[in-house]
Structure 1
Amino acid sequence: MRIGIDIRSLQTESQFRGIGTYTYNLIKHLVEVNSENQYIFFASAYRPLKDLGEGLRRNLVWLRRPARLTSLTDQLFWYNTLKAYRIEVFHTTELAVPKFSPCRRVITVHDLIPLIFQEYKRLPKLAHYLVYLLKFRSTQWAEKVIAVSESVKNDLIRILGLPEENLHVVYEGVQGCFQPFLPADRVEAMKKKYRINRDYLIFPCGFEPRKNVSTAIRAFHRALKRLPDGYQLALVGNLSPESWRVKQCIYQRGLEKEVLLTGYVPPEELCYLYNGAKLCLFPSLHEGFGLPVLEAMACGLPVIASNDTSLPEVAGDAAVLVNPYSVEAIAEAIVRVLTDPDLQRSLKEKGLKRAALFSWDRVAGETLKVYQSLVKRSP
């Protein structure tokens, strides 16, 4: 089977987010799980691409035009490209499916957040919303749609009206670098690098409103007043124009020394920060999957997460689930976990078992089954 995969998400800002993590690990493990298939990875010739290693690099095809799928010319370019490389199944891991295709099409949908939150429907994001709307509608052209959770699958049916028989849920996986009991000296060195100088909680986040960072800060501030020891809260994620709200929330409460903005932390360093933390906080208002919850669990870290959207199905009974809109509920959960050694021990044990269920080999295997179902049905 000749499988083409659009990996241009590894050349945009998405490479630092869940989509990039998904794309890289999917192609890496597809090649490892089944080397009998022929894989062709389509990348843009106009943007840098991180080193994929020799095993993946030999499968690259560089596209010499933007191929944004926004015009008939772009559509024809994709049609001719897929035909020239004799692709049987074409998989895009980010939004945009070609309408005209000589082969079967698969798309992975990570979430429908731009269609759900009203902030995307107003200036200055209105133009982005309209582009997203066009891209989301292109999912109807795919023969199979992979949703990363049951929550996303339900949104695809409810919002876009996609037929359930075309949808497959394939959960994401946890990278191997996320594991417990990493060397203590490396943990301490990483804490020093990111200015952490006492016991701390960690919140892997972005700074768009749905991440609920300001609510988390208010809850942390309330919890500090009830805890016998001082703690810091490390907010891990790329700073954005919207982070001014978070900074304002910090300054208003005099928490400049307690709340740290680390900026982006790569996975190979983030695993050490998880190992050194006392608790992972993740009260997001909406997630398509919620990979940080599993990454923290894989490092043996107790987790407090939102009880909404995909997070309950990802966390199972291995996390303390809270109402993300309630400052008091989050603060109470923080105090309860940090002051109850038995609860910490239970969450660690359950979390390690839960995270072990989500491997990238499993993701690759289930994705291959989706490909195979299409080829078998081909005339």
Structure 2
Amino acid sequence: MKIAVNAKALNKGNSDGVGRFTYETFSRIVKAHPEHQFYFIFDRNYQHNHVFGRNVEPIVVGPPAKHPLAWWYWHEVLLADQLKKIKPDVFVAPDGFLSLSVPTAQVAVIHDLSFEHYPELEKWGRRKYFQHFFPRFAEKASRILTVSNFSKSDICGSYKISPHKIDVAYNAADPIFAPLTQNQIDDLRFDLTDGCPYFIYVGSIHPRKNVGRMLRAFDRFKDETPSNYKFLMVGNPDFKAPKIEKIYREMHHKKDVIFAGWLSNEHLSKAVGAAEALVFVPIFEGFGIPLVEAMKTNVPIITSSVTSLPEVAGDAALLVDPFSIIEIKNAMTKMATDYNFRNTQASLAFERGKLFNWDNTASLLWSTIQKAIE
């Protein structure tokens, strides 16, 4: 069997959720199925460690697609031409971007439809492209895979797609995420926050992630609960970050906020594992991989009561209204002042984390691929 894969997301690596999904699933699928031939199609030079086996043929189809018009040309002309040459049994798009120009069976992995619900948080060109093409991608797809039952329901309702066409496979966390010893925690806190306890946020610095309200909640927490707590923010700034910078500049306790930028999985697993709690309260999320990373490291969680997050968290998180600064602040106070509660939540999170692993995700994606061919 010949399987073509849109491998562009691999170049983004683990700093991007789609890149992580692509890497973790296809690194396993390629090794589990040496009898099949895979074609990884990139739009620029690739890293050789992204060619997961001898049964993978990497193909670079340039130039790189960097903006909506280029996306259209790359998928509908360049990619379409390449697929006609390969004649694969199926084409898989881990980022959801299909080619409407070919009759090949296609699998779209659609992670979420945030651009439909909060279009103002996307750049104009990206928003228009997504809103025009994703309904068509969903209709064109032989099968759709998504990462939560919430997203499945959203795709069905937004695009009038039959639920029988959509499969669900949860995301997971790198096996490097594991509990730390107290000595490790103490050493890491010395390096990261001068020995102080801290909350951690992991994700892009973007309004959709609700970073502004988290910062305001932390400021109120520090006003009302004198402590040496810090707030470690892990992630790269997005295009709307200036609005968040304004909120940061207005904080009373800005000196207690540390922007760490992007961290490798090795460093991230340690930073999460040494935290007092994860604070991850986006206003919209298709899954929320940082929740599972915290679960795997035995760290309690504060997260949103909306979209997919209650589904992923189960009973293993303190849920808050992401639009309420007071609720977020109160949750921080509870985690910081109630030792027994924090320990109980950490234990619940660790047990919940056992439900998520990339082997299962890869197996479910493979099943979806087989259904698409059939």
Calculate the TM-score normalised by the size of structure 1: 0.89
Partner residue in 2 for 1:129: 127
Report matched runs for 1:162-177 at 5 Å: 162-177=161-176
How far apart are 1:206 and its partner, in Å? 1.7
Give the Cα separation in 2 of the matches to 1:54 and 1:65.
Answer: 18
Q: Which residue of structure 2 aligns with residue 329 of structure 1?
A: 327
Aligned to 1:257: 255
8 A contact 1:187–1:273 mirrored in 2: no
1:88 corresponding residue in structure 2: 89
Range 334-343 or range 222-231, more displaced: 222-231
Deviation at 1:225? Answer: 3.3
Q: In the alignment, which residue of structure 1 is the partner of 2:306?
A: 308
* CA-CA distance at 1:63 after TM superposition: 2.6
When residues 56 and 189 of structure 1 are mapped into structure 2, their CA distance, relative to the original with a 3 A threshold, is: farther
**CA distances 1:288-347 after superposition (whole Å, capped 9, x unpaired):** 111101111111100000000000000000111111111111111111122222222221
Aligned 8 A contact 2:278 2:294 in 1: yes
* Alpha carbons 2:39, 2:59 under 8 Å: kept: no
* Equivalent residue number for residue 75 of structure 1: 76
For 2:54 and 2:248, the matched residues in 1 are separated by 44
How many angstroms apart in 1 are the aligned matches of 2:183 and 2:45?
35
Q: 5+ unaligned residues in a row in structure 1: which ranges?
A: none
Q: Using the TM superposition, name which of 327-336 and 289-298 deviates more.
A: 327-336
What is the TM-score when the length of structure 2 is the normalising length? 0.90
Matched, 1:49 2:51: no
Change (3 A) 1:350 1:57: farther
Mark the CA change 1:134 to 1:275 in structure 2 (over 3 Å): closer, same or farther: same
Mapping of residues 117-196 of structure 1, within 5 Å: 117-120=118-121, 125-136=123-134, 137-181=136-180, 184=183, 188=187, 192=191, 194=192
Tell me the SS of whatever aligns to 2:220. helix
- In angstroms, what is the RMSD of aligned CA positions? 2.4
Whether the 8 Å CA contact 1:69–1:98 is kept in 2: the answer is no
Distance 1:288 1:30 in 2: 23
* Structure 2, unpaired ranges of 5+: none
* Between 345-354 and 239-248, the greater mean CA deviation after superposition: 239-248
Aligned pairs (5 A) from 1:198-347: 198-347=196-345
* 1:160-179 deviation digits (Å, cap 9, x = unpaired): 22222211111112111111
Which residue identity is paired with 1:39? F
Residues 1:162 and 1:237: Cα distance change in structure 2 (over 3 Å): same
Corresponding residue number in structure 1 for 2:106? 105
Distance 1:373 1:75 in 2: 24
Contact 1:196/1:232 (CA < 8 Å) preserved in 2? no
Decide whether the 8 Å contact of 2:186 with 2:195 is kept in 1: no
- Structure 1 residues 244 and 34: alpha-carbon distance in aligned structure 2, compared to 1, 3 A threshold: same
Residues 317, 119 of structure 1: CA spacing in aligned structure 2 closer, same or farther, 3 A cutoff?
Answer: same
